[in-house]
Structure formats: structure tokens, C-alpha cells
Structure 1
């Protein structure tokens, strides 16, 4: 039965690519990607999708199949080519062996630490910063990007994994670049993960958004006006609903032919994705961004 389901899913994946349309209820996905590319003078010249079943729930006559799709887009912009990759998590429904439904599982949402209340931290107060011992460090952007590339579609066993994992992944990238942890064991202070515990700023998007530009010691960032000012290893925070609560975080890992950021992310694992997320199902016209450039002591 599993082999039959896998074959049916593979047939749908071929349709996904060859007809430039998604599966059943998600037919606008590739069109959104094409429109996003067109706005920056780029085009998709080749696309590939590979599916893998991750779980099954069987009933008498019906069954639900959960699977992941690894999407690859070869994008041409001017005389440059970029390989964008992404992972979709989907659920297919079968009735008596016939595919009757297929939809993407929405994973975007506010990263809410179960013990954090509203999950927000506003960095250091001036008084606390003055009392804290100054931590000197140099941010190695290359190492941060190398880590982001190594783990974009995998999970480092040295760290705890979360269902909504985007900020945890970005924190790991920043730490790989030399950003020092500090503040343990106060969860509302500093930026850290150790001993099966972590600060809100390490794992919650809205907390990181507040922490980075307000920190006066150790890891810190300055807000810049536009995405074009960001360098490799810098961070973008996303408020999809425009309601003031930021719910996604990415790291800049490359630049396109126009010098604009391409980013890596977790949750909807992605690599070399255009920074604006206009092709995301989470995108709304009310979206707000924060562009944060990491600063260090050298």
C-alpha cells in the first residue's frame, strides 16, 4: 500500500513541475514564485520536486498521508544563475486508494515559548548594561554563512529542535560566527542556550527582533533602512500580519545579480530564497521587515 501511495504522490509531483501548478488546493504557489522573480528581472528556467512520505494515518476506507516535498528552482537573473531550494510539508487524503485532497501544512506562526508569557524581551536596560562586563568578540560572517548552508535542511543534534525552529536556527548561525552567549540562567536576559534551557531571545522571533538592536553588550546589531544595506550573515525579521509582533527570522547567505539578499531559514526550510518572501503563503500586503546588521568589536 505504501508503495502505491508513493507512486501516486510521485505522479502529482511530476504534474507540479511540468504544468507549473501546485497540488489541488495550492495551485497559486508556483505562479507566486514566477511573479516574485519577474519583479526583480529573474526567471525560473528549471524546476524539480522530490517527495518523501513521513507519516500515515489509516482508516477503514480513507487514509491521510503526510509527506515532504524538496523543491529546487534554477533561477536566471541577468547573466547569473542561482539555485533556490525549499521544503514543503503537505498532507494528502485518499479514499479507497483515490487521491481526493492535497494541501500544504501551514507551519508559520508566532514562536511562543511555553514559559515566556508574551514571548518578548526588549534587550538590556542602560543600568544593567553599565554593570555588565563588556564582552569583546569578532563576528566571522563566513563561518555564520557556512553553518547556515550546512544545516539549512537538517538539525544539529547539539541543539534542541523546535517545530517552529526559525529563530533557533538563526541563533545557531550567529553563534557559529562567534557571537558569544551571555545572560544564563535568566531567560529574559541576554542570549543563550545551554543545559536544556534557553533565553527567549534565542528561540522567539519577536524577542530576537527586540534584543538585537537594543543589546549593548556581546551580540548586538544596528537597524538599517533597507535590505540592500545588509551584508552576508546579517538578519531579517518578518511581521507577516503587520501587527507589531514579529514571527519569522532569516539570515542573509548570498546576494542576487542586483545585489539584493538571498536568505536561508528553518520551519519552512529554505535556501537562497529572495528576502522579501512575496511568494510565501504567509505573506500579506501588511508585512513589515526589520533589517539588522550584526556589529562587533573589530
Structure 2
């Protein structure tokens, strides 16, 4: 297998050529003069040709050195340009952000915020992927994802954007027909509507101010993989559902459904922006995280919990 070129030695050689001095190159590169000399000697040994004729007063390129100098100088310039471009990329927000967001939250909350963000950062583009399924950020090549839950332990980096309360709700018509549960365990006798992508599938966990806890495994006639699809069934009186504020907030405000199990609460989740581990986030991702944290952290609908 062929060895890679000795890029370090070639770059040092190019700097010596540029400054016509081993000492000058060492000073500019913040290396010792011995390190610069060894790099050039290593390159000469590899190429089997002397590159400089050196005296105590004069440094001159040999024929072999002349032929190599132009290529090495171009290599050094290309390397410096690539590094400067990468540094600029990390310093100024630009480039594509592949962002995975739950379907309804993406449509109702995130998408309306994006026009202003893209106007603020015209060199950033967003590829918005909408799905309630838990995507593999690393395996599927996403820069970031929004997760709405109590996050499990994970190697992903997370930034909390805002709180996201949940409400157990039913319509007045349902409660008139089937009665009003006052304790989570009463849900076992009720028609409950399920969401497929709960962090603990098939279980609703409650607690109250006294520290009591209850876990129920509700069942009913409908289960969906998108939370918003439950709302028409709840409004129509088909059953009870547990839904986040961004889905059920308007229906609560309009009186189409009401909160039941007063004094009992599901585990409060939050909205997080998660990114793959390893090193600082790119500037484009950090800018988006800061923007979303600012917008989502502001108080929401009057009468409902805010972040």
C-alpha cells in the first residue's frame, strides 16, 4: 500500500522557500529551527534528492528543489485556504441544517418560525423532516432533532428549549355519558385513546402534590402514531386522551374539551433540541438552537402553563 505524501514536510519546505530562511520559517510556523531542518532532511531522504544548496550565508534551491517548490507552494496555499474556509464556516452561520421534528409540532410551531430565522441568516438553509417516529440522528445524517419528552440517558447533546405540559382531557359529552374519573386508576373503566410513540408505550404515569404516584395502562377504540389525529375523536366524545399543550391548547381554550383528573399530573416533559455528540455544534446549528430557545421560551397562550 502506497504511503501518503509527507504533507507536513512539503508545507515546511514551501515556507522555507517563501522566506528563503530556515530560521524565518521556524519563527513563522512557531517551530524550532531543528524541527524545520529535520522536516526538509526527511523530505530529501524520501525523494532521494537534495533540495537546497546551503552555506552559512546563502540558501539556494537545487534543480530538484526548483521543480518541487511550485507544487509545494500551491499545496501550502490550498491547505491554508481550506483551513480558513473551515474556520469561517464554524464562525459564521452558513450551510444546510437537516432538522428532524415531530409532525404536528413541526407544522404548528416550528415551521411558522422558520421564515424569520432564514431572513436573519440568509446563508443558512433548512431541510425539515417531519415525523413522530424517533429518528436516528447519526445513522440518518441529521444535524439536529427536536424531542418532546423527559429525555432518557443518551450520548446526544441536548439543549432545553421550553417546558411542554400535558393534559388528560375529555369532552363534556363523553363525561355526561360515562362519568368523570377523579383518580388515575378510574381510567381502567373508561375508553382511552392511545398514542403509539409515548416514551413508555401503553402506560400513563401520574403523581399529585402529596407525592402519590399511579401508573395506568389504558385501553380503548383508537390508537394513532400522530397525536393530533386523536383530537377529533376526543372532541366527538369517543374517549379520553392525554395530549401535549401544543395539540390540545386551542380545543381547551374553545371549551371543546376539558381537563380531568384535577390535582394529578403526568410527568412534565420538555422540548429539547438534540444533536450528535462530539465537538462543538456548527455555527448554523447553534444559531438555530438559540433562535428556537428564544422564541419557544416566551409565554404562550394565556391560561395555560408557559415555559
TM-score (norm. length: structure 1) = 0.25
> Which protein has greater RCO, CA pairs closer than 8 Å, 6+ apart?
2
The structure richer in helix per residue is: 2
The structure that has the greater radius of gyration is 2
TM-score (norm. length: structure 2) = 0.24
